[in-house]
Amino acid sequence: MSIRKVNFVNGEYYHIYNRGNSKQVIFRDEEDYKRFIGLMYACNQKENFKSDNLKKDQGLFNVERTTRLVEIGAYCLMSNHFHILITQTEFGDISNFMKKLTTGYVMYFNKKYKRTGGLFEGKFKSEHADTDNYLRYLFSYIHLNPVKLIQKDWKEKGIKDKSKVLDFLKNYNYSSYQEYLGVNRVENKVLDIENFPKYFHNKDSFTKEIFEWLSYNSPLGKT
């Protein structure tokens, strides 16, 4: 489904992304978004995880994990695609993590919506963040994806109202943006930011970086 023959290197960082077949919607409601985010936490372990084994009223974030496969520095979910900034642990495996994550989500999605077959557009895509500048840039690129929901042409024409955009981003619940603002929520468990370069020493430095990208009119790359 999403397994790929790529030799990911320990200590290196990767931008992982994929979208729905024919750009179809893969997150139809809030429950879907929350399920995928919860699976990013629960599936991040060597042991096989089956949601059917959850105890009554036990949420995905209450799962006791074994050794982590990967460490996640940022993520963003959009209605028809997702982005994850990731590095694998010493004993981990990015491909195995992505297989667990996407398989678990497709099983949930197909059961909920009474459908069969694949959901994603083939194997997940990956880009190696092979320079410090590119890795730092990815934190902004990933977190700025939701801007297109309120201004589709912002990359070409620039932001019309930066305050409105920043307010929208800080209230967007399906990315790690809020974690970088210091918001205390259960989704914090997904991230392992201490294992990524300390580009942002506090929420003000993070917001400043985002604001600078919003003020820069050049395209931010792939969407």
Cα 143 to chain center, whole Å? 9
Contact at 8 Å (CB) between 194 and 114? no
Distance CA 149, CA 84 (A): 19
Cα 222 to chain center, whole Å? 15
> Looking at residue 6, what is its pLDDT?
61
Give me the residue label for tokens 């981990």.
92
When pLDDT is averaged across residues 108-117 and rounded to a whole number, the result is: 94
When pLDDT is averaged across residues 172-198 and rounded to a whole number, the result is: 95
Q: Any idea of the CA torsion for 205, 211, 217, 219, to the nearest 10 degrees?
A: 60
Q: Return the exposure string of 137-158: e unless at least 16 CB atoms fall within 10 Å of the residue's CB, then b.
A: bbbbbbbbbbbeeebeebbeee
> Looking at residue 52, what is its pLDDT?
64
- pLDDT per residue over 85-105, tens digit each? 999 998 889 999 999 999 999
Residue 211: count of CB within 10 angstroms of its CB: 16
Q: Per the structure block, which two tokens stand in for 75?
A: 């993520």
Is it the case that residue 49 has pLDDT exceeding 90? no
Distance CA 200, CA 91 (A): 27
> Looking at residue 223, what is its pLDDT?
37
When pLDDT is averaged across residues 144-163 and rounded to a whole number, the result is: 89
> Is the overall model pTM greater than 0.75, yes or no?
yes
Residue-range domains of the chain with CATH: 14-128 (3.30.70.1290), 132-184+197-214 (no CATH)
> Looking at residue 1, what is its pLDDT?
43
> Looking at residue 4, what is its pLDDT?
52
Distance CA 57, CA 6 (A): 38
Is it the case that residue 107 has pLDDT exceeding 50? yes
Q: Per the structure block, which two tokens stand in for 30?
A: 């809030």
Q: Per the structure block, which two tokens stand in for 132?
A: 């410090």
Distance CA 83, CA 17 (A): 4
Contact at 8 Å (CB) between 209 and 199? yes
> Looking at residue 169, what is its pLDDT?
96
